Structure 1
């Protein structure tokens, strides 16, 4: 697994899947859940890496408490 810094500034669902180590269905469920902002470009779903990292860090903080 490559570090988050090596991913582009705009992620797609496959990137989310790889970063989290989850299946395709779980990745699509997550990006469709409304937990963070996504943008649809045609049929593609795009997520700003900064938004995703902020969400991920918030999740890590919550699990530590």
Structure 2
């Protein structure tokens, strides 16, 4: 897993893929799972780094964003 300090405040799916060391498909499945809040900008999916860090540390309320994208 890479240090999150080097990433921008707003992540994309490629960033998630790099950080977690998973494949593209797994990264898209994760961001589509509703486990943390994502925002669609056109066809792009954006994730606030702070939200992702809380999820990564196990602090994100999984039910809070379930199904909200």
Normalising TM by the smaller chain, what interval?
0.7 to 0.9
> TM-score, length-normalised on structure 1?
0.86
Q: What SS is found at the alignment partner of 1:5?
A: helix
- Distance in 2 (CA, whole Å) between partners of 1:53 and 1:2 is 12
Structure 1 residues not aligned, in runs of 5+: 60-65
Q: Give every structure 1 segment of 4 or more consecutive aligned residues whose post-TM-superposition deviation is greater than 6 Å.
A: none
Structure 2 residues not aligned, in runs of 5+: 60-69
Q: Deviations over 1:21-60 (max 9, x none)?
A: 000000000000000000000000000000000000007x
* Aligned counterpart, 1:22: 22
CA RMSD of aligned residues (A): 1.3
> TM-score, length-normalised on structure 2?
0.81
**Greater Rg over alpha carbons, structure:** 1
Once the two structures are TM-superposed, the CA of residue 3 in structure 1 deviates from its matched residue by 1.4
Q: What SS is found at the alignment partner of 2:47?
A: strand
